[in-house]
Amino acid sequence: MTGGPLDLEALVAQALAEDGAEQDVTTQAVVPPEILARGALLAKQELVVSGLEATRTAFRMLDAAVSFASRAAEGDRVSAGTVLAHLSGRARGLLAAERVALNFVQRLSGVATLTRRFVEAVAGTRARIRDTRKTTPLLRALEKRAVAAGGGVPHRAGLTSGILLKDNHIRLVRSAGEATRRVVASAAGRPVEVEVERIDQIPEVLAAGATMVLLDNFTPEDVGSAVRLIGGRVPVEVSGGVTLATVRSYAEAGPDYIAVGALTHSAPAVDICFEIEPA
């Protein structure tokens, strides 16, 4: 699953309205409405591409006749100096949409680029990199697509698309086993992932019917012990404080998945510029 329902045009329209793109007083004062221009989106660094669809939508919502010719595809790794797209159309529309268009592609390509770094860091192990629900409000579907573009495996899109019993659920019930039994009883056969904070919780959640175990804030050494205890009976996921410096050691401990919240909550925007000139 790569994200929940997405009305891209409505989302982009909100972003353009936030920026006041329809009333760009600077551009309207300087550029006559009949002036045509052409431009290019240019990567200023090595990156993994994501978000060009949203960028195209931003330009076309201000000029339906704009020409937008992509020169890269979702998930492509490109070097600095690569042209991502060529554009032509009314200069006013190109200028007014520029910031919002760049915000989308810079942000989403940043997520894809960071994800690819994590994926490459665990290459050769069984571990796959997953995202979390720590996403930018209203951008979850796009950010999860960006994770997929980077080679990651998007986790559940929202609270209705998967069962994940967390530590706070367990604290309210005061028993990992009892909380697991309750959710399994109501799961109607759906997979049930259970988060544990200690190794001694693992036997009780497995006995209660957990179909995946999430090891939260374990050390790589403890992950290895937990993986051996579980013995392949259910898939194992790791989360909590995993960084590029530590992800390899976690992967080598043998989990099936490693969840990294930083993919979406801390990915730096990449450097992409929009160069424009008279047509």
Annotated catalytic residues are: 99, 134, 166, 195, 216
Residues in the chain: 279
Cβ 100 vs Cβ 58: under 8 Å: yes
What one-character-per-residue DSSP string does 78-144 give?
A: E-TT-EEEEEEEEHHHHHHHHHHHHHHHHHHHHHHHHHHHHHHHTTTSS-EEE--S---TT-HHHHH
Cβ 258 vs Cβ 242: under 8 Å: yes
d(CA 169, CA 171): 6
Cβ 200 vs Cβ 182: under 8 Å: no
**Cα separations (Å) of 2 from 49, 50, 56, 133, 262?**
16, 13, 20, 11, 17
Give the single-character DSSP code of 219.
-
Give the single-character DSSP code of 273.
E
d(CA 22, CA 19): 9
Joined tokens for residue 231: 């013995």
